[in-house]
Each structure stands twice: as C-alpha cells, then as structure tokens.
Amino acid sequence: MSEKSQLPSRLFLCLITISIALLITSSLFLLQFSDNSFRPTSVLKLILVNNTSDYFQPSVGSEKVEAPFTPSVASPIYSNPPVRIKEVPCPSSEPSNKLSAVGLEKEKICDTNHAVLQVYMYDLPLEFHFGLLGWKGNSDQTWPDVGNPSRIPSYPGGLNLQHSMEYWLTLDLLSSNVPNMVRPCSAIRVHNASQADIIFVPFFSSLSYNRHSKLHGKERVSVNRMLQNKLVEFLKGRNEWKRLGGKDHLIVAHHPNSMLVARKKLASAMFVLADFGRYLVAIANLQKDVIAPYKHLVKTIPSDKSTPFEGRPILVYFQGAIYRKDGGATRHELYYLLKDEKDVHFTFGSVQTNGINQAGQGMGSSKFCLNIAGDTPSSNRLFDAIASHCVPVIISDEIELPFEDVLDYSEFCIFIRASDAVKKGFLLNLLREINQDQWTKMWERLKQIALHFEYQYPSQPGDAVDMIWQAISRKKSSIRFKGHRNNRYRRSQNLVKIT
C-alpha cells in the first residue's frame, strides 16, 4: 500500500473512533434527560411553553381507553405521548426515575403534588348543575358517580352542546378523585378550599339560559334568573369568596347570554367565555378571563381520512344565518361578492335546517371555510372548520381565540380585516394565490392541533378540557399577585376599624 491510500484509511479510522465516542456521550446525555427525548413531540411542541415543561402520565399506549362520551373521537391523542406543562419543577418526593423511565412512569399518580391546578369545587345543590339535566341522584347524592360512565347523565344535544364546557369541566374535576382514572393531571379537586388555587363554581349557566329562561305558568321569575340570584347570594356569603373578593373563583359562562343577571355582581371572578362581544371591559377582559372553544357540531375527521388539497373541489365554504345586527353587514356584502363564483359555496340558513352532517361534508370538501362575524364575534363555525381540516378564513375583527398564548393561529388560519374582505376581488385573489404547498402546510398543522378543540370524557392530554385548565393555571400568578396587593394595608385597615 502506498502512502496515499493509507492516509485516508487512517483518517477514516479516526473518524469512526470520534463518532463512536460521540454516540456514547450522546446516549448518556439522552438517558440523563430521561424518557422524553425518545418520544415524538411534533404535536406537542406547541403547548410546551417552557423548558421546565415535562411529560407526565401513565402511558396509555396498548391499553386503549374508550372515551364513552365522544361520538366523534378521532382521537389521535391516544397514540401520542401525553404532555404536561409544569409550573413547578418536579417535587422532590418524586422518585428519581431517570433510567427506567417506562416502567416507573406507570406508577406515577396524579395527586395534589403533581397536578398543575388544585381546584376546590362548591357542592352546590343539584338544581345548579346535574339537576338541570334531569338527574336526581339519591337523596344524599350531590354528584353522579363518574367512575361508571354509563351512569353519567348526558348533556342535551343539538345546539346546546356548543356551550357544554361547563359540563365537561365539572365531570373532569369529579373524575380527578376517581382512583385509576386515566386522564391528564392538569386539575385535581381538593376538598379544602384553603389549599386550592382556584374555586370552581359548578353552575351550568349556558344550559340554564338555553333551557330555563322562559316563564312558565304563574312564575314571576324564570328559573335561570332565580338560580343566578341564588348563586350571587350564596357566593357573597362565603368566606372563600370574601378571601380575595372572588378573584380566585372560576365561573363558566360560555353562552353569550348566560349569567346576564349575575355577571356584574360577580365580575371579579374569572370567567370562561366564548368572546367578549356582550361584555363591558370592566366585567370581562383577557387579563383575567379565559376563552374556551365551542364544542364543534360536525364530526371530527380522523387525521388519516382527511382529504388533501386536490380532493377538495370547493374553494370557499360558508353557511350561516343572516344577521341584521352589528357584524352582520359583512355577511351580506360578501354574499353579493361571492355568490356567482363557481367554486364558492355560500348559503344562508342555520346549520340545523340544512343538517349538521351536510355542513360537515361541505367543509370536508372545501379548502377554505369562512368565519364571518355574526351577532357575536365568535361562533362554533370556526371549530367545525378545524374539525374538518378546512383552513379557516377569519373575518371578525373582534374575535378572541382560545389558547392564543400557546397557539399561533396564523399557522393554520387566514385572517382578513372586515374592511378588506368587502373590497371587490380582495378575498378571492388572496385565497387563489395560496398554492398547494402553502395550503398543505396549514392543513398539516390543522390536523395536529385539532385535538385541542375536542371535548370528551374522560379528558385526555392536550384536549380542550386539559387546555382550558392549563390556560387557567397560567392566570394563577396574576391572581396571587392581586391577592398580595390586597394584603398591603391589611394591618392598618384592621387598626382603622379598632380606633
């Protein structure tokens, strides 16, 4: 062998040695940082806000759990690693499990040390929650037995379901006390209010509005109004409320007309809302409140059954009611601009009259789905579009979007100002310019994030219930902050009272 050929082979040997060394160090490194590194994270990246984040939860992998309450479980989540956002680094009570992660992980339990949010829930009388579903229970029973899914009263269907998060959140809290329940460890119900981060008010306010606003017979006051008055009286008399003036209380008021009577009196509480369209800023605002997605009405399209670009003949899809109020004008103007286009489906009529299935099919065969402000800035249409993987085109300047602090909607939605949308040619030119690659990117993203808008029981990591609890947990420090400020002059106030 000549010098020339020996040199490369020596070099080669050297390279191999170096790479082996690198390999060893990197695998040691990976082991150090436990199991997480081996897991696919694509879907989950978006909710990891911090490098203190940590995965957690028994691996559901093979033992798939049936979610009894989801007709539309397309749940890609079962096959994905569960995710946890932790505010606090793992408590020291946790065993050091860096090496045999998989085995130990199954033993991890969701207790008050692990949960992101400790929640105290008032044991309100039945009439405020499951009683509204017609559930009676036994005489001593306030809550249904959620360990047995077949005995959980179901929420009324149809359009009621859009605002059913009051029900899913309550169920999830109840299930947090059921042994061996496989669910995210975001919220856990505690029975001592002074240990809680949040005090949950289990009033099904949207259902109360939808079902009990009318006066019957000789009633002077509707059930909906009566319940709200009772609730205000109850809360204002509680020490838990007085402690922080209600700032740590969580009230679900998703239907824009729910809590109409009580909202001003309970304005210091944190609300779970659809948008701020019918609220004064002093009563509801982004700083203290949480926006929750509507429960979509169309069936979820499973990721692997979703139609790609070339299979969606309709460019733009819209179906909705005609409104004369506020935002409605944009709908009319757009209708006249778009109605003669061949690849545009634009019809007026509520989803009900044309059938939810038909709407689902329409959206599933469309590239873009319009969300035009109606009488409120938000509607379930956006979430129907997401579940159909139809790229939402949002024409609603005042809309508030759920979880926007961890989700960048511009990755999977198109936003157009109402004033631009009604310019001749603007909308269609913009959408036609989006090519297959660009559209497909948004579609892929839609398939990834769709699970964040699924309500189901039991809740699963990354679904809507889990995301709402996590959004609430991100308000924790601001509640604490307000509490501490409240305390500043406590001593001198007491003194003032005495002197």
Ligand X SMILES: *[C@@H]1O[C@H](CO)[C@@H](O)[C@H](O)[C@H]1NC(C)=O
169 Cβ neighbours under 8 A, 6+ residues apart = 200, 252, 272, 465, 468, 469
Judge contact between 465 and 172, C-beta under 8 A. yes
Q: What is the distance, to the nearest Å, from the Cα of residue 264 to the centroid of all Cα atoms in its chain?
A: 25
Nearest CB to ligand X, comparing residues 112 and 410 = 112
Cα gap 389→303, rounded to integer Å: 9
Residue type, 295: K
CA distances from 355 to 295, 349, 361, 362, 421 (A): 17, 10, 10, 11, 28
Can you read off the two tokens belonging to residue 192? 């001592």
> How many CB atoms sit inside 10 A of residue 410's CB?
10
Nearest CB to ligand X, comparing residues 5 and 239 = 239
Asked whether position 49 contacts ligand X by CB under 6 A, the answer is yes
Judge contact between 443 and 389, C-beta under 8 A. yes
Question: Longest C-alpha distance within the chain, in Å?
Answer: 109
Nearest CB to ligand X, comparing residues 53 and 440 = 53
Nearest CB to ligand X, comparing residues 87 and 397 = 87
Nearest CB to ligand X, comparing residues 194 and 287 = 194
Nearest CB to ligand X, comparing residues 301 and 407 = 407
Closest separation in Å from C-beta 82 to ligand X: 17
Asked whether position 51 contacts ligand X by CB under 6 A, the answer is yes
The angle that helices 165-175 and 205-212 make with each other, rounded to 10 degrees, is 140
The angle that helices 205-212 and 223-236 make with each other, rounded to 10 degrees, is 150
Closest CA to 86 of 37, 47, 35: 47
Cα gap 132→473, rounded to integer Å: 28
Q: Which region among 58-66, 187-195, 342-350, 442-450 touches ligand X (by CB under 6 A)?
A: 187-195
Asked whether position 32 contacts ligand X by CB under 6 A, the answer is no
Closest separation in Å from C-beta 275 to ligand X: 24
Nearest CB to ligand X, comparing residues 86 and 163 = 86
Nearest CB to ligand X, comparing residues 46 and 422 = 46
Residue type, 278: R
Q: Which region among 50-58, 148-156, 249-257, 428-436 touches ligand X (by CB under 6 A)?
A: 50-58
Site residues for ligand X, 226-285, by CB under 6 A, read none
Query: Which residue of 26, 195, 357, 493 would you call a contact of ligand X, by CB under 6 A?
Result: 195
Site residues for ligand X, 82-141, by CB under 6 A, read 85, 87
Nearest CB to ligand X, comparing residues 86 and 183 = 86
Judge contact between 168 and 457, C-beta under 8 A. yes
Query: Which residue of 150, 192, 239, 499 would you call a contact of ligand X, by CB under 6 A?
Result: 192
Closest separation in Å from C-beta 86 to ligand X: 6
CA distances from 150 to 146, 153, 182, 448, 455 (A): 9, 8, 17, 30, 17
- Tokens 């099904």 locate to 204
Closest separation in Å from C-beta 462 to ligand X: 16
Nearest CB to ligand X, comparing residues 147 and 483 = 483
Judge contact between 386 and 407, C-beta under 8 A. no
Q: Which region among 45-53, 91-99, 281-289, 355-363 touches ligand X (by CB under 6 A)?
A: 45-53
Query: Which residue of 17, 27, 52, 347 would you call a contact of ligand X, by CB under 6 A?
Result: 52
Judge contact between 295 and 379, C-beta under 8 A. no
Cα gap 302→259, rounded to integer Å: 36
The residue count for binding ligand X (CB under 6 A) is: 9
User: On the CB side of 78, how many CA atoms lie within 13 Å of its CA?
Assistant: 15
Nearest CB to ligand X, comparing residues 90 and 430 = 90
Closest separation in Å from C-beta 50 to ligand X: 4
Judge contact between 387 and 296, C-beta under 8 A. yes
Query: Which residue of 194, 435, 492, 499 would you call a contact of ligand X, by CB under 6 A?
Result: 194
Closest separation in Å from C-beta 92 to ligand X: 17
Nearest CB to ligand X, comparing residues 94 and 420 = 94
Q: Which region among 49-57, 252-260, 275-283, 407-415 touches ligand X (by CB under 6 A)?
A: 49-57
Cα gap 133→138, rounded to integer Å: 15
Closest separation in Å from C-beta 184 to ligand X: 15
Binding mask 61-90 for ligand X (x = CB under 6 A): ------------------------x-x---
Provide, for the chain, the percentages of residues in helix, strand and coil under a 3-state DSSP scheme, each rounded to the nearest 5. 40, 10, 50
Closest separation in Å from C-beta 194 to ligand X: 4
35 backbone dihedrals φ, ψ, rounded to 5°: -65, -25
Closest separation in Å from C-beta 34 to ligand X: 16
Residues that bind ligand X (CB under 6 A): 49-52, 85, 87, 192, 194-195
